[in-house]
Structure 1
Amino acid sequence: MGIIGWIILGLIAGAIAKAILPGRQGGGWIATLVLGVVGALIGGFIGGQLFNIGLENFFSIQTWLVAIAGSVLVLFIYGLVTRGSRR
């Protein structure tokens, strides 16, 4: 799957991650979607390395699960990091 596919997948995974992990993370929806793209890329890389999952197919359930898990993880870490900076 190409980089455009990962961007589209990441945008959707970021929206799903925001629905799974609601809260007041800083940055709003745009930051959440960008973090979703980052999370999908990181989740795809880690999933490929740890589980030897082939992530070439956009419509594969394992691709989506790994991308969503990566997005949730990145969004959770981002929420922890930015928690102290809010007033």
Structure 2
Amino acid sequence: MTLLFWIVIGLIAGAVAHRVLNSRGGFIGSLVVGLLGSLVGGKLAEILRLNVTGGFLDQLVVATLGAILFLFLWRKLFR
């Protein structure tokens, strides 16, 4: 995947995570949460041996779930 592909997925996943958890943050915050969420979601999918084919929608779902989990845990740890 190209860097641009991951940035687009990270932005979308971060924006969805911010909306789901009613969080504050701007463009950069959404990007960071989305990209970190992509890593978290990807690693969890690997650990759980989920078959993610690598398509845009699959990657978006995994990244979004990872971003929501990451943001939820971040809030619990640092608030």
- Give the TM-score normalised by the residue count of structure 1: 0.71
Aligned residues: 78
- Corresponding residue for 2:74? 78
Q: For the aligned residues, what is the CA RMSD?
A: 2.0
- Corresponding residue for 1:34? 32
- Corresponding residue for 1:54? 52
- Give the TM-score normalised by the residue count of structure 2: 0.77
Larger radius of gyration: 1
Q: Distance in 1 between matches of 2:43 and 2:3?
A: 13
- The runs of 4+ residues in structure 1 deviating greater than 6 Å are none
Unaligned 5+ residue runs, structure 2?
none
* Offset at residue 55 of structure 1 (A): 4.3
The 1:34–1:5 alpha-carbon spacing in structure 2 relative to 1, beyond 3 Å, is same
